[in-house]
Amino acid sequence: MDVMKGKWAKRASSGPPSFTLIELLVVIAVIAILAALLLPALAKAKEKARAVKSLSNVKQWVYAFHMYEDDNEDYFPYEGDPFTAVNIGSNLDAWYNVAPVYMVLPPLKDLYIMGSRPLPGQNSVFVCPSVRDQPPPPPVSLSNPYFMYGFNNRMDPNGPGRFKRNEVIYPSDTITFTEMDGRFPSATWQSSPRHNRRANLGFVDGHAAPIHTNDFGRAPSEDNSNSEFSVGRRVYWFPYKGAPN
């Protein structure tokens, strides 16, 4: 009998080892620590991918602007009137209606008419992937559109005149296209620094780059062409000194 007990005891002891409760808790704690370390890195990598996609969108817009200017005697497109529906009057010639055709895309007015208006979360050149909040009420419509990108409105002064590309004295440093939020289709230094205090901006010469808010931001007292050109800047909103607002 003692021999049989020894035989079964040997077999039992030779089986796979089991975890104690303390060992299991230690493993769970280690996994939790690793997850806490990895999740911020994954979130950062995901936001970096969004920033790269947004930069690609901005590049497509500035290329389209360049082709529009080539076809229109160097004139920049119209910025658009935020108080008029996107399919009426001068808004038919606004950037969001005339530039998409150079990307073989429908004008914004057609997207609204077809019920395919650009909204956060969609894969569209009109949509910045870093914008995840839905626009506030009232619902977006032809007369109340929602923009995640915008034209530099200092390139389209108020009144009948528009600037030409060949009037810009620093084409590689002067902004044409911005990241922004809201119903206005244009912006200046109020652009949205969505990517680690940087905004993806498009330039007159056709390139795009992430620019820190310290470089593109202005104080209200600096928001005119004379003060902007009074000191050296990394980027410019106005085409030349003395340009009207």
Instruction: Tell me which residue has tokens 């108080």.
Output: 83
List average pLDDT for each run of 10 residues in the chain, which is 245 residues long: 49 58 72 68 74 95 96 94 92 96 96 92 92 73 92 81 91 95 89 88 96 92 89 92 86
Which 3 state secondary structure label does DSSP give 170? coil
Q: What pTM was estimated for this model as a whole?
A: 0.81
In this prediction, residue 245 carries a pLDDT of: 75
Dihedrals phi, psi of 237, to nearest 5 degrees: -100, -30
Q: Let me know if 86 is exposed, middle or buried by CB neighbors in 10 A (0-12, 13-18, 19+).
A: buried
CB of 203 closer than 8 Å to CB of 219: no
